[in-house]
Chain A
Amino acid sequence: KAGVTQTPRYLIKTRGQQVTLSCSPISGHRSVSWYQQTPGQGLQFLFEYFSETQRNKGNFPGRFSGRQFSNSRSEMNVSTLELGDSALYLCASSLEPREGLEQYFGPGTRLTVT
């Protein structure tokens, strides 16, 4: 069974631009979460989607948004990029958002904002 895939793997953008990252979960998984990983802040939760609905949202500004499609694939968008948005963005999937279920992570998208 294929793992979580994320595209693109690497991205360089300029301050003020916007970016869209894509995530395809493991087949059969319907819950998708997004995380931002930086050396200073560690892993921070962005949002979680299940059945095309945002179930939970972390403490990030409104510039960060996401959505989930009927096939469970998810995208996240960051508008008006800032230098501090440079990070590894990780997507994780699980069968459903039940507390005891582990999440499976993709390799991440490395975003660099210049």
Chain B
Amino acid sequence: AQSVAQPEDQVNVAEGNPLTVKCTYSVSGNPYLFWYVQYPNRGLQFLLKYITGDNLVKGSYGFEAEFNKSQTSFHLKKPSALVSDSALYFCAVRPLGNYGQNFVFGPGTRLSVLP
């Protein structure tokens, strides 16, 4: 069975500092990997995805993520955090090659950017 782990419930970072939100996954075969962000009282917004190719993926709002196959990780990063980045972040996986597989989401990591 596939699963996604986000080892930190909460990440605090000062505005202007780099941020990292961690994600590791367990799937059979190769996965497609996604990051979403959720602001209060809102649905999830798509940030970026890894399908194939370059291990460093760039997405919306200056976010990027690094795919590491050997460590089965897909950490979300941003060089300089903004207070407005404070939100709940979800990593998700959808296994490759099985048309019927659904998205599996991690538990979420709450990011707080302190002014």
Contacts and interface: CB of A to CB of B under 8 A. Distances in A.
Interface of A: 4, 33, 35, 42-43, 45, 48, 55-56, 58, 90, 92, 97-100, 102-108
A99 B97 CA distance: 8
A102 B45 CA distance: 10
Interface in B36-56: 36, 41-46, 49, 51
Nearest to A50: B99
B103 A108 contact: no
A33 to B, nearest CB: 7
A56 B100 contact: yes
A100 B51 contact: yes
A42 B103 CA distance: 13
A48 B100 CA distance: 9
Contacts of B28: none
A103 B103 contact: yes
Contact of A56 (B34, B96, B102): B102
B43 A108 contact: yes
A4 B44 CA distance: 11
Interface of B: 32, 34, 36, 41-46, 49, 51, 90, 94-108
Contacts of A45: 102-104
16 contacts: A4-B43, A35-B105, A42-B107, A42-B108, A43-B90, A43-B108, A45-B104, A55-B99, A55-B100, A56-B101, A90-B43, A90-B44, A92-B44, A98-B99, A102-B34, A105-B45
Contacts of A43: 90, 105, 108
Contacts of B46: 102-104
Contacts of B99: 55, 97-99
Given A97-B99, A99-B99, A107 B42 contact: yes
